[in-house]
Structures are given as C-alpha cells and as structure tokens.
Amino acid sequence: MTEGRKSRSTEAFFGRRRGKTIRPQQAQALADGLARYRLDLDRAAPTDIRMLFAAEVADVRLEIGFGGGEHLRHEAAGHPGTGFIGVEPFVNSMAKMMASLADAPLDNLCVYDNDATQLLDWLPDASLSGIDLLYPDPWPKKKHWKRRFVSPVNLDRFARVLKAGGTFRFASDIDTYVNWTLLHCAAHGDFAWEAAQADDWRKAYPGWPGTRYESKALREERAPAYLTFRRT
C-alpha cells in the first residue's frame, strides 16, 4: 500500500485528530502511557499475539474507536485472562484513557493511536477471538457513506484476523447504519447474525457498562441496537 493510499484510508474512517488543547498533566500521562501500552507496527507482529501483553492471556479481543474508554477499561479489568487491543485516533480520548491507566494499570491491554486498518493489516491471520465496533461515527450524509468503517474491504479484514467462531459486535443508535451493517454482513458471507428474535439485538451485551455515546442516544430518545455476528 502506498503512502498516499494510507493517507486517504485514514481520512476515510474518522474525522479530526485533536480537540481542545490537553493540559500538561494529561500530556504527560499520554506520553508515559503510550510508551508503555502502544503497539509498534514498524516491528513484525509476533506469530502468537498473546505475547504482546505483560499479562498471561488465553485469547485477544480488539475494540475499534474506544472513545472515552469506558467499555474497554471495564472489559479489560473484568477479564484479566483475555488480552485487549484498543484503537483510538482521537488524541483527547487517548489522553483520557492513558490518565485513567496511570491510576489503575492493566497488564492485559495494548493500544494503537492511528488508523485501525493499519493494525488490522498488521495482525496475523486468525489471531483474534472478537472485534467490537461500538457507536462508530455514522457519517449520515450519503456522500460520506464511503467513510463508514463497515465496508466490504474492512469486513474482509475482519474475516482474515478473526478465528472461526470469533465474534464481531456492532452497536449503534443510528437506524440507517444498523441496517447498513446488517446488509453488508449478510452480503459478505463470512458472518452469521446471531439474533433469533428482536430482544436479541435490543438488549445490551452481557455485563455492558454503558458509554457516554449510549447515554446521549437514550437522552435523545434513540434506541440502540446491539448486533453480534459470528465468523463462520
């Protein structure tokens, strides 16, 4: 992949990289945290990615766009025998996450602060037990639909890195993006939707801690959907 293509890919899936100027204390936490938790994609990925973690883990999950980190921290703290990789390109969100980890470190966590497609292309085949894409930017205007992360090429990436039986979980409060994801996964062929009845996608995932995006959706009376697809 050329450098130009990498740049366009990065611009396609997320917007701005920075918000308000972060405070010096946050900046220090960000620098210290990335030095400890950030994956170096300039190095070849290990054949067994469980070796990426300071803790001994049995399997590895990925969360793309973890935002404030509420769900990722909750999952990593509650499942110490599982390794978690979190991707978040927005600097302010990553700074918030690193500040929280300074107070409560997690040895079963790694992060990446750039385009998730770069990480997906770096990972070995069949190396993940699950991928979470929770409340991603819906890019609601039709002219921006190409910027949605769920796409045939990214589902190809998911299918390559997921183990057989692994899960892809997608949550959103935007009906059009929920329908978009259902249609794309059905058309792809490597993903089977697990819902048998409506309550299967209306109920949050087991142990779900909630996120600030979900809280906003509920305040604005938008009903979230929680989809689970299994890698066939």
Q: CA 29 from chain center: how many Å?
A: 22
- pTM (predicted TM-score): 0.90
Domain boundaries, the chain: 3-231
Residue 57 has pLDDT above 90, yes or no: yes
pLDDT in tens, 143-154: 888 889 999 999
pLDDT in tens, 84-111: 999 999 999 999 999 999 999 999 999 9
Which pLDDT score is estimated for 118?
Answer: 97
Q: DSSP string covering 1-49, please?
A: --HHHHHHHHHHH---S--SPPPHHHHHHHHHHHHHHB--TTSPPPSSG
Q: DSSP string covering 144-160, please?
A: GGGG-S-SHHHHHHHHH
Tell me which CATH code domain 3-231 carries.
3.40.50.150
Q: CA 141 from chain center: how many Å?
A: 22
Which pLDDT score is estimated for 132?
Answer: 98
Concerning whether 137 is annotated as a catalytic residue, the answer is yes
Which pLDDT score is estimated for 138?
Answer: 87
Active-site option among 137, 156, 173, 175: 137
